[in-house]
Amino acid sequence: MKALVYDAYGPPDVLRFEEVDRPVPRADEVLVQVHAVSVNASDWETLVGSPAYSRIGGLRRPRIRTLGSDIAGRVEAVGPDVTRLKVGDEVFGDNLDRKGGFAEYAIAREKVLAVKPPGLSFEEASAMPQSAVIALQGIRGAVRPGQHVLINGAGGGTGAYAIQLAKLDGAEVTGVDNAAKLDFMRAVGAEHVVDYTRTDFTRAGKRYDLVLDLAGHHSVLAHRRALARRGRYRWVGGSVGTLFQVLIAGPLVGGQRLLVVRPNTTDLLTMASLCTAGTLVTHIDRRFPLDETPAALRHVGEGRALGKVVVTVR
C-alpha cells in the first residue's frame, strides 16, 4: 500500500511516499481502509518536532513513521478481540496513539473508532475527531448565557467548532487569530475579533469568564489580567513555557489549568449528531488528494487554513 513516511523531524521536504506492507491488526485492533484524513496542528507539530512535547515517544527521531490521526474509512479487517465493529462498517475517530492515516490503510484500536453516521460524508467525518472533541471538552459546562468567552487561535480547526459551541451556550464570543482569519471568525459566529499580530488580548482591558487557549504563549500573570473574577483559563496548546507555568502556577493564581484532551467516541458522536442535525457546521477550507499531503500539512503549519483541511484518500 502507499504510505507517506518520514524518519527525521523537519519541514514537509522530509516526507516521501513509500510502498509498504499493509498492516495486520492485532487482538484489539482494526484495519481501516482510509477514505479521508484531516490535518491537525498536532500533525504539523509531530512532523517538525516542535514544541518539545510533540517528541514524546521519539526524542531524537519520530517513533511513528506515518502521521495522520483523524481518519474516516471502512473496516477492512478486525483482530480476534474486536467485538463492536465488523468488516464493512464505516468508521471515524482520532487515532492519536497509532496515527498512520496518511496512507491507504491504517491500524486503529477498536476503542478509538465510532461508527460514522450515514449523514456525514467521509470528508466531514474525518474533519471532526480531534478538533470537535477538543472544542467540546473545552467549552462544555464552562459557559453560561451572557458570559464573555475568548478563544485564542479561533481561526483554525478547533476554534471554528469552539466558537459555535460557545454561541450555542449563549456566550458573547471574542476570537483571536491573525488578520487573514478575522472575517472567517466573524462568519463562524464571533461577535468580536482580535488580530494577535497587532493587539495583545491580555492588555486590551477586557475581562473574560472563559479563555480557551488553543495557542497559549502568555504568562499566567498575563492570563490573570484577562480573566473576570472567578474566570477560567484552559490551556490546550502553545508554547512549552506557558504549559509549565499553567501546570505549576496555574492553580495558585486561580482558575488556570491544562486541558488534557483524550479521544472519546461518546463526545465525538455528540458532536457528529450536532453536525448532522445542522446545529453545527464543519468548515472545510481545502481538500487535497493523498499525493499532495505534504502541501496540505504546509497549508495548516504555515497558518493559512480557515477551519479544517482534509486529505481525500479514496
Ligand X SMILES: NC(=O)c1ccc[n+]([C@@H]2O[C@H](COP(=O)([O-])OP(=O)(O)OC[C@H]3O[C@@H](n4cnc5c(N)ncnc54)[C@H](OP(=O)(O)O)[C@@H]3O)[C@@H](O)[C@H]2O)c1
- DSSP track, 63-101: SSSS---EEEEEEEEE-TT--S--TT-EEEEE-TTT---
Distances (CA, A) of 152 to 202, 208, 233: 11, 12, 11
Nearer to ligand X, 130 or 164 (CB): 130
Q: State yes or no: residue 215 binds ligand X (CB under 6 A).
A: yes
29, 45, 70, 169: which one contacts ligand X (CB under 6 A)? Answer: 45
Question: Which range touches ligand X (CB under 6 A), out of 24-32, 70-78, 258-266, 278-286?
Answer: 258-266
Quick check: 128 binds ligand X (CB under 6 A)?
Answer: no
Q: Do residues 143 and 113 make contact, with C-beta atoms less than 8 angstroms apart?
A: no
Q: Is 305 helix (H, G, I), strand (E, B) or coil?
A: coil
Among 155, 175, 255, 263, binds ligand X (CB under 6 A): 155
Pairing of strands 308-312, 29-39: antiparallel
Binding to ligand X by CB under 6 A, coded x per residue (else -) over 261-280, reads x-------------------
Restricting to residues 168-207, name those near ligand X by CB under 6 A.
Answer: 176-178, 181, 196
- Does position 260 interact with ligand X (CB under 6 A)? The reply is yes
Contacts of 271 (CB under 8 A, 6+ apart): 128, 132, 133, 135, 136, 161, 280
Sign of CA dihedral 304, 308, 311, 312: negative
Q: Which range binds ligand X by CB under 6 A, 22-30, 101-109, 286-294, 298-306?
A: 298-306
Taking the alpha carbons at both ends of the chain, their separation in whole angstroms is 13
Strand-pairing partners, residue 175, are 151, 193
**Shortest distance (Å) from residue 214 CB to ligand X:** 4
Work out the number of other CB atoms within 10 angstroms of the CB of residue 257.
Answer: 13
Closest CB to ligand X among 105 and 235? 235
Tell which one of 95, 126, 131, 265 touches ligand X (CB under 6 A): 131
137 contacts ligand X (rule: CB under 6 A): no
Let me know: does 214 contact 154? Beta carbons within 8 Å. Answer: yes
Among 37, 41, 108, 211, binds ligand X (CB under 6 A): 41
CB of 3 to ligand X, least distance (A): 22
Residues 52, 46: Cα–Cα separation, whole Å: 9
Which of 12, 62, 159, 250 binds ligand X (CB under 6 A)? It is 159
**Residues contributing to the site for ligand X (CB under 6 A):** 40-42, 45, 130-131, 134, 152-153, 155-159, 176-178, 181, 196, 214-215, 217, 236-237, 259-261, 300, 303, 305
